[in-house]
Amino acid sequence: MHRMPDAAFCSQETYLNRTTLLILMACLTMTARLLAGPVPLRAETLAEAVDAILHSHPEVRSAVHSRQAVATQVNQARADYFPSVDILAGSGTGRVYDPGDSDIDPRELTISLRQNLFAGFATLNETRRQQSRSRAAAFRLQAISENIALKTSRVYLDVLRQQDLLQLARENLIIHQRISDQIRLRSESGISTRTDMEQITSRLALARANEITARTNLMDAKTSYQAVVGHLPGELIQPPLLDQELPADLEKAQAMALREHPSLKSAEADLAARQARARVARSSLLPRIDLEVDRSWKEEFDDSNSGQDDLVAMVRLRYNLFRGGRDQASRLETSHLVQEARELRNNIRRQIIESIRLSWMAYQSVRERLPFLETRVQASRATARAYTKQWNIGRRTLLDVLDAEAERIDAERDMVHARYDLIYACCRILNGSGRLVHTLGLKWPREARIDNHDQSSEKRQDS
């Protein structure tokens, strides 16, 4: 019987052990992924991430419900245009002592109709106030959607940024490990000195520490992504620059921001609502006229067993002469509220101008730096290659090679930061003009739309 050689048997046993270990590691990896939660099965674009979050983020959903709640108050205000109909019915028992003693069973039914004919334009102005509040809530939802889109862009780009930085850190570690192996071989051959070995040991330790830091930063970026988007990132696709959608210069960008920013539109609508409230307060200076119609049926309210059938229709005028100064205080309050809303609007204008200017300057700064950073990357790569070749033939020291590699990695790292800073600066400018969501090919939530019935016919009064 043929017997397998011991060496072959050991080799096959080692192969089987390794195969079993690989299968076990694969099972553990699959289990860990299942426990970690759902992960996108395909590559996710920036537009897809923003679209998903616009329909699921708690801040957006909260603003949606706020908009819906305020919209119902428009119908509540309009209800005063319609008549009010009430029914009063009663049935009971009683006793009449004079004259004589008798029991009665009184019953009554009254139908009342009240229709306001004039209320000092209070109904009109209250309806306009609620319409302005509804528009303000819609614009506020647009602003929240834009800010959430910008926040999603930031965490999306941060994941890609940290992935590139981790790749650089691993590349740097591989280079230092290769140089360390070369120094060890030279040292064993008596070519390199102990100082070279200590130098590369120090740089290798730093490269390993930097790789650990880069891995930690990537995990932090993924955690931030999950907190905003709702799931851990899978494979992310490099987003476009979006610079073709930007205005031509800073002045046009600022004008567009002041014209289109949802936060400023919301502040304008809040100011209009305060002004309408002030007009509602002034309605108390005018009389109130109502049409009142009562139809009544009454039986056995005395011992005569007689019934009563009445129909009364009247137009009543009510005009308050004195209320203890309440109306004057209310008008003074609304005057201050209008001034408060106006100053809040002015403050938002300043913030928008500051934001768009800072975003534009950041964009210009990165765009102007990019050609020089590219030149630095190319030069540092060429220098590192040349120094490595010269070190191999003894014309450069190890310190020169390590410094050249460090310079190359720094140049590559600065280039990574600049590339993603430029994309994010474009997103900031688009967000500052309220156009980031639309530029990504998406739409705001349906509740953020301004319908025709939300438009007030009254022009904004501002001084």
pLDDT at 13: 40
d(CA 107, CA 114): 23
CB atoms within 10 A of CB 31: 10
Q: Residue 107 carries which side chain, given as an amino acid letter?
A: R
d(CA 196, CA 201): 8
pLDDT at 203: 86
pLDDT at 41: 45
Structure-token pair, residue 88: 């009063």
pLDDT at 25: 47
The residues that bridge with 113 in the sheet, in sequence order, are: 85, 293
pLDDT at 193: 65
One digit per residue, pLDDT tens: the chain, 463 residues? 334 444 333 333 433 344 344 434 444 444 444 344 444 446 889 999 999 999 889 999 999 999 999 999 999 999 999 999 999 999 888 777 766 677 778 889 999 999 999 999 999 999 999 999 999 999 999 999 999 999 999 999 999 999 999 999 999 999 888 888 877 776 666 666 677 778 888 889 999 999 999 999 999 999 999 999 989 998 999 998 888 889 889 999 999 999 999 999 999 999 999 999 999 999 988 999 999 999 998 886 655 556 678 899 999 999 999 988 888 999 999 999 999 999 999 999 999 999 999 999 999 999 999 999 999 999 999 998 898 888 777 787 778 888 888 899 999 999 999 999 999 999 999 999 999 999 999 999 999 988 655 554 344 434 3
d(CA 284, CA 321): 10
pLDDT at 199: 80
With CA atoms as reference, report the closest residue to 423 among 343, 383, 363.
Answer: 363
pLDDT at 188: 66
In this structure, are residues 120 and 78 in contact, taking their beta carbons and an 8 Å threshold? no
